[in-house]
Amino acid sequence: MSDVPEIRGFFDDQTNTITYLIWDPQSRQAVVIDPVLDYDPVDGTVDTQSAERVLEAVAANRLTVTHVLETHAHADHLSAAPLFKAKTGARIGIGARIRDVQKVFRPMFSADDLKVDGSDFDLLLNDGDRIPLGELEIEVIATPGHTAADVSYRIGDAVFVGDTLFMPDYGTARTDFPGGDARQLYRSIQKLLSLPPETRLYMCHDYKAPGRDEYRWETTVADQRRNVHLTACVTEDEFVTMREERDTTLSTPKLLLPSIQVNIRAGRMPPAEENGVSYLRIPVRVKTA
């Protein structure tokens, strides 16, 4: 029995997000991680082209998708998880602390329809949980810091780390969203770096580090031990100071408000109004001097 899964990444150049299709070569059971729903904020339309590319690969490789897993409630793209569930019957899973994230954002969007018990998701996952995937299994690794609910997924010799890490030449995740914590992020990164050095790590995003001309999203634990943010900070306190200072310089993701209110519902749109149309809510605040 091999512990090496088949892995295919699908890069979305609108959001710099990688959706992963991973499968067990023996049983051909598969899982999709962090699927993207195409969304145009200018005219409010959604499209499924990115997800359809993944579904075409599912069909071409004669796979059975058993789960769609989110590493966290993303702030930069809308999730296509409901489409995969409708097309394949896959169950949608996320870290159990999504309930904490829901409690933070429900009042922000006056989302009275939203239950804060995580029940929009089929699976609420805790550190150490295991999900069978044919001859392989998926191990859940809690990696909070970017958000309270972040988890990574270990499948054989590969780990899908969400936004916890970027490529070694780019750095680490921001922690200034509600529930983020730079100290937790540092400790989550150390947990990942304690894995065997040859372990493959797969990023959720890439933005091309300065001097690099191509997108990349696969690295190793050994390479990440030389991550530019970690080599510049010898201690945990130094990392926390660097991360918190850096976060104050970052702009808000352009799809933050649309994404969060959909993704905390497991990719479900807000309930349609009487005219049959769903509306996303954009809070408006007046800046003070």
Q: What's the CATH number where 75 sits?
A: 3.60.15.10
Domain that holds residue 90: 6-263
Q: pLDDT tens-digit profile of 84-128?
A: 999 999 999 999 999 999 999 999 999 989 999 999 999 999 999
Please check whether residue 284 lies inside any domain of the structure.
no
Residue 287 in any domain: the answer is: no
Token code pair at residue 267: 């990719």
Using an 8 Å Cβ cutoff, are 229 and 244 in contact?
no
Secondary structure class of 96 (helix, strand, coil): coil
Asked if the structure places residue 195 within a domain, the reply is: yes
For the stretch 213-216, contacts whose Cβ atoms lie closer than 8 Å and that sit 24 or more positions apart, written own/partner, are 215/11, 215/16, 216/167
Token pair of 9 as six digits: 């990444």
d(CA 113, CA 116): 10
End-to-end CA distance of the chain: 64
Angle between helices 236-247 and 182-193 (to 10 degrees): 120
The whole-number pLDDT of residue 285 equals 85
Residue 289 domain flag: no
Say if 100 falls within a structural domain. Answer: yes
Distance (Å, rounded) from C-alpha 65 to C-alpha 87? 9
pLDDT of 288: 82
Give the whole-angstrom CA distance, residue 230 versus residue 168: 9
Which of 221, 223, 243, 248 is closest to 232 using CA atoms? 243
Residue for token pair 């750095």? 171
Q: Which residues pair with 16 in a beta bridge?
A: none
Q: Would you say residue 64 lies in a domain?
A: yes
Query: Could you give the CA distance from residue 213 to residue 142 in angstroms, rounded to a whole number?
Result: 32
CB 32 within 8 A of CB 90: yes
CA distance 157 to 198: 8
Tally the domains of the chain: 1
Query: Domain for residue 275, yes or no?
Result: no
What's the Cα-to-Cα distance from 73 to each of 80, 147, 229, rounded to whole Å?
12, 8, 24
Residue 271 lies in a domain: no
Residue whose tokens read 């329809």: 113
CA separation for the pair 78, 176 (Å, rounded) = 20
- 3-state secondary structure at position 20: strand
- How many residues in the chain? 289
β-strands 91-95, 123-125: how paired? parallel
Give the integer Cα–Cα distance in Å for 176 and 260: 15
pLDDT in 10s for each residue of the chain, 289 residues: 468 999 999 999 999 999 999 999 999 999 999 999 999 999 999 999 999 999 999 999 999 999 999 999 999 999 999 999 999 999 999 999 999 999 999 999 999 899 999 999 999 999 999 999 999 999 999 999 999 999 999 999 999 999 999 999 999 999 999 999 999 999 999 999 999 999 999 999 999 999 999 999 999 999 999 999 999 998 999 999 999 999 999 999 999 999 999 999 999 999 999 999 999 999 888 888 6
CA proximity to 21, closest of 158, 195, 119, 132: 158
Query: Tokens standing for 54?
Result: 């993944």
- How many helices (DSSP H) and strands (DSSP E) are in the chain? 8, 15
